[in-house]
Structure 1
Amino acid sequence: MESLDPSVVDLSRLQFALTALYHFLFVPLTLGLSFMLVIMESIYVMTGRAIWRQVTRFWGKIFGINFVLGVATGLTMEFQFGTNWSYFSHYVGDIFGAPLAIEGLMAFFLEATFVGLMFFGWDRLSKVGHLFVTFLVALGTNLSALWILIANGWMQNPVGATFNPETMRMEVTDFWAVLFNPVAQAKFVHTVSAGYVIASVMVLGIACFYLLRGKWTAFARRSFVVAAAFGLASSLSVVVLGDESGYALTDNQKMKLAAIEAAWHTEQAPAGLTLIGIPDSVARTTNYSVHIPWALGLIATRSLDGEVTGMSELVLRAQERIASGQIAYRAVEALKANPQDAAARALFEAHKRDLGFGLLLKRYVADPATATPAQIEQAAWDTVPSVPLMFWSFRIMALIGFAMIALFATAFVLASLRKHMEARWFHRTALFAIPLPWLAAELGWIVAEMGRQPWAIEGVLPTFLATSTLTPAALWTTIIGFTLLYGGLAVIEVRLILATIKHGPVEEQDPQPEPGQLPATPMTA
């Protein structure tokens, strides 16, 4: 457990952050479009109207382009655990590897098996059979996200596992606790709902683009209606499920919650919410803050007497846990020398919960048992993440979330009143709103991952101990390589999607005219 060159740790984090944020450009659109395709094709099966087949096939093309890029970038991320984070993989591989393996065996193969049938089975399967295939693709896509988020949720809240001093690794003690981890479940429903919003904004924006151009209006009208209804339900669920995710932080990640709210000190319950302000990490205060009384206490604890602990108090608790972790570390060293040492075993069992906190001292001293009180205090303050980054990332994300509710509520009202065809002001608004939910999703991941720092596994393994033995030159080479490769792939995807949009929802055989429409007739002399 020797610490590495700080530049290696920082570069490893940078590389993983770049690939993760890039990968997450594709994942949410895939999640949302998959079930929107199920809705659109269900309408086609129920009505038999060819226009709905045209709608489904067009958005299926966008789904397919995005799906390929999502799979390619996701595989790269999984390989990084072995190349850049080998000690992480060794230390927690027994727990972390299981959800990833299940994701690959069950969800990924479910997607891969049926995605071909979805694209090429239109004329080979019955309507109901093809709809079932589309549903299985959507199910596989969302199950894939579930297992990934179970793994990530365990990093945030490592339940159902314990450290074994004989193997020097974390091992599973209760797989069901890992599976039903409250943090993982909250992250899954919140992340999936965010994906549904992203897909809805994409569909709505492109439909509005066609309406502005006066092209394929029958297609655009139907896409608008589906996106408005699906998007409104999804945007409302994002806020509700986001509240549930925040409530999970109250019990499991108190420091992250305190950093998000710039709560430097514990307030008398119920605590007020800092709406805006300028956090100062040096002075450990928030300047020019605007408070909403009682709001944070009610949201975070759902009570009038629940306490939201401030960062200063959490640092004091961290100091206590670091001191306890020193004892656990000494016991582990004794057990390594003599596995039969009963006194060391008893000491370890009493303090093993805090072993990870003891490892924080390895940033400052080779042997945590020899750390000074000043080093313990310094390590305890390391448990505070970047407060300004957390504070503003969360608020921008939340602001965009409420803006999405307003956008889809307006779209739903316009569609209900049958005024969505001529509301050109709204068409422009929806078109320019397309990037916003992606920005919110990326900020959400920044909040989730930066809020966990300095931990690779919350309270178990510090990030600076989790990396592989690499050189800065090797990392810079791969970072530049990934940047060039992913930049090229991004250009290809954008061009393919723009070409698909420009081509429009044109089939080899155009659908039959709708009732009330006159078919085109050839001109005669």
Structure 2
Amino acid sequence: MDVITLSRIQFGVTTALHFLFVPLTLGLIWFIAIFQTLYYRTGEERYRRMAKFWGKLFLVNFGMGIVTGLVQEFQFGMNWSEYSRFVGDIFGALLAIETMVAFFLESVFIGIWIFGEGRVSKRVHLFSIWMAAIGSLASSIWILLASGWMHNPVGYIINPVTGNAQLVDIFALLTNPKGWLLFQHAFSAGLATASIFMLGISSWYILRKKELEVFKPSFVAGAIVGVIGSFLLLMTGHTQGQEMRIYQPMKLASIEALWNTEQPASFSLLTIGDLTGKQEVWSIRVPYLTSFLACNNFDCEIQGVNQLQAEYEARYGPNDYVPLMVVTYWSFRIMAGLEVIMLFASAFALFVVLRNWSPKLIKWLKWMPISFPCPSSPA
């Protein structure tokens, strides 16, 4: 393997590890803020215990997110130094704003919330956790605007003197639809991830009849938000799939194992390719479905991998522009399948609550902790 391949592997592993913690903390902090608010308004000790318990787990994962994020920042400059130099005036500025404004806001007020109980007033203590939650939200916005710009670069020119990208329209950058779509998807993932996390841990305690006054309300909150978050995750993911046809047609073709252009395009239930990964051997497909999912009509043309490869060779020069399709094809299906499992798990949890904690249903909660790995892929 050459240096580029090794750099891709290293950066991919770092990014995957970092994002295990990001959506969990992005969603979990809002639960903590709500529990803290309920304690402030009612004075009931159970809400304080709920905020403290989930707050400790938040802090552990928040710390891991910081550590893995710092490594990722270093790799931008070390693995991809030329790219960082080329887009630094835009991409680097967004990351700097995220650090100087959102991250410091979050970190400072998290510190007040951790150490301030009994030292500051209850109102200030409550204010601190809400400011930390707002800081985490702002942090994700700046990061995903940077990611959105990489997918859909807008508002820039190539400086004729430096040869680097230079921002000329900050409004276009801040209103980039790709960035806001990524934010919607990431925030939905945060809610769904935190909900599954809470449902799994709460189920473990409920089955053992331990601290029910803390974990039954946590379970209810996780079930309600889990249904909403998982549904929004599916819907925003669907919207990203439609946007993919415009900005990343090769990605869409590869996740559907669509070697040749089709109009209308079928959806692959199962496709087996040859050992080279360059052609289809056997498949089960649903006619018209990919066209409908990508365009909301049954007569939409979806470009195939072979045609896009030829187009990119003519535009950018000879090279292999086709991703490793066995990875893109199966990772997408695993991701979509896990999203559906999350939705059904949250719906079942809500059904348990609505059926007044029926013992016949509670026994099935033993499977809920096993759902922990599900959010790692959709997120």
The bucket for the TM-score relative to the shorter chain is over 0.9
Rounded to whole Å, the distance in 2 between the matches of 1:128 and 1:275 is 55
Deviations 1:238-295 (A, max 9, x none): 00110111111121111111111111111123x2211222234736333332222222
| Match in the other structure for 1:268 | 263
1:403 to partner: Cα distance: 0.7
| Match in the other structure for 2:287 | 293
| Match in the other structure for 1:259 | 254
Rounded to whole Å, the distance in 1 between the matches of 2:140 and 2:246 is 24
Rounded to whole Å, the distance in 1 between the matches of 2:237 and 2:36 is 30
| Match in the other structure for 1:321 | 315
Counterpart contact for 1:182–1:248, Cα < 8 Å: no
| Match in the other structure for 2:321 | 383
Partner amino acid, structure 1, of 2:340: F
Partner amino acid, structure 2, of 1:71: I
1:58 to 1:81, Cα distance in 2 relative to 1, 3 A: same
| Match in the other structure for 1:409 | 347
| Structure 2 residue 31 is the aligned partner of structure 1 residue 32 | no
1:267 to 1:136, Cα distance in 2 relative to 1, 3 A: same
1:132 to 1:265, Cα distance in 2 relative to 1, 3 A: same
Q: What secondary structure, in the 3-state scheme, does the structure 2 residue paired with 1:36 have? A: helix
Partner amino acid, structure 1, of 2:279: T
Of residues 174, 177, 185, the one that matches 1:182 is 177
Taking only aligned residues, the RMSD between alpha carbons, in angstroms, comes to 1.9
1:393 to partner: Cα distance: 0.2
| Match in the other structure for 1:233 | 228
Rounded to whole Å, the distance in 2 between the matches of 1:396 and 1:404 is 12
Rounded to whole Å, the distance in 2 between the matches of 1:134 and 1:256 is 40
1:55 to partner: Cα distance: 0.7
Partner amino acid, structure 1, of 2:93: A
Partner amino acid, structure 2, of 1:403: I
Partner amino acid, structure 2, of 1:438: S
5+ residue gaps, structure 1 = 1-5, 323-360, 362-375, 442-525
| Match in the other structure for 2:48 | 53
1:225 to partner: Cα distance: 0.5
Deviations 1:396-436 (A, max 9, x none): 00000001111000100111221166634322110111122
Counterpart contact for 2:106–2:136, Cα < 8 Å: yes
Q: What secondary structure, in the 3-state scheme, does the structure 1 residue paired with 2:271 have? A: strand
Q: Which structure has the larger Rg?
A: 1
1:283 to 1:397, Cα distance in 2 relative to 1, 3 A: closer
Write the mapping of 1:17-416 to structure 2, written as runs, cut at 5 A: 17-269=12-264, 271-280=265-274, 282=276, 284-322=278-316, 361=317, 376=318, 379=319, 382-416=320-354
Deviations 1:211-236 (A, max 9, x none): 12221122111111111111111011
Counterpart contact for 2:227–2:347, Cα < 8 Å: yes
Rounded to whole Å, the distance in 2 between the matches of 1:408 and 1:118 is 30
1:287 to 1:183, Cα distance in 2 relative to 1, 3 A: farther
Deviations 1:141-185 (A, max 9, x none): 122122112212222222222323421222223222222222222
| Match in the other structure for 1:487 | none
Give aligned pairs, total. Answer: 379
Q: What secondary structure, in the 3-state scheme, does the structure 2 residue paired with 1:168 have? A: coil
Partner amino acid, structure 2, of 1:142: L
Which structure ranks higher in relative contact order (CA pairs < 8 Å, sequence separation ≥ 6)?
1
Counterpart contact for 2:207–2:363, Cα < 8 Å: no
Rounded to whole Å, the distance in 1 between the matches of 2:358 and 2:164 is 59
Rounded to whole Å, the distance in 2 between the matches of 1:409 and 1:111 is 32
Partner amino acid, structure 2, of 1:242: G
Counterpart contact for 1:228–1:411, Cα < 8 Å: yes
Deviations 1:380-402 (A, max 9, x none): xx221111110100000000000
Partner amino acid, structure 2, of 1:384: V
Q: What secondary structure, in the 3-state scheme, does the structure 2 residue paired with 1:409 have? A: helix
Q: What secondary structure, in the 3-state scheme, does the structure 1 residue paired with 2:356 have? A: coil
Rounded to whole Å, the distance in 2 between the matches of 1:227 and 1:205 is 9
| Match in the other structure for 1:341 | none
Q: TM-score, normalised by structure 2?
A: 0.94
1:209 to partner: Cα distance: 0.7
| Match in the other structure for 1:11 | 6
Q: TM-score, normalised by structure 1?
A: 0.69
Counterpart contact for 1:281–1:388, Cα < 8 Å: no
Moved more, 178-187 or 18-27: 178-187
Rounded to whole Å, the distance in 1 between the matches of 2:276 and 2:160 is 39
Rounded to whole Å, the distance in 1 between the matches of 2:281 and 2:190 is 35
Rounded to whole Å, the distance in 1 between the matches of 2:124 and 2:275 is 59
Moved more, 416-425 or 41-50: 416-425
Moved more, 42-51 or 74-83: 42-51
| Structure 2 residue 371 is the aligned partner of structure 1 residue 425 | no
Partner amino acid, structure 2, of 1:288: W
1:283 to 1:410, Cα distance in 2 relative to 1, 3 A: closer
Matched-pair identity in %: 40
Partner amino acid, structure 2, of 1:292: V
Partner amino acid, structure 2, of 1:136: M
Deviations 1:14-37 (A, max 9, x none): 221222111112111111111111
Moved more, 86-95 or 34-43: 34-43
Counterpart contact for 2:352–2:362, Cα < 8 Å: no
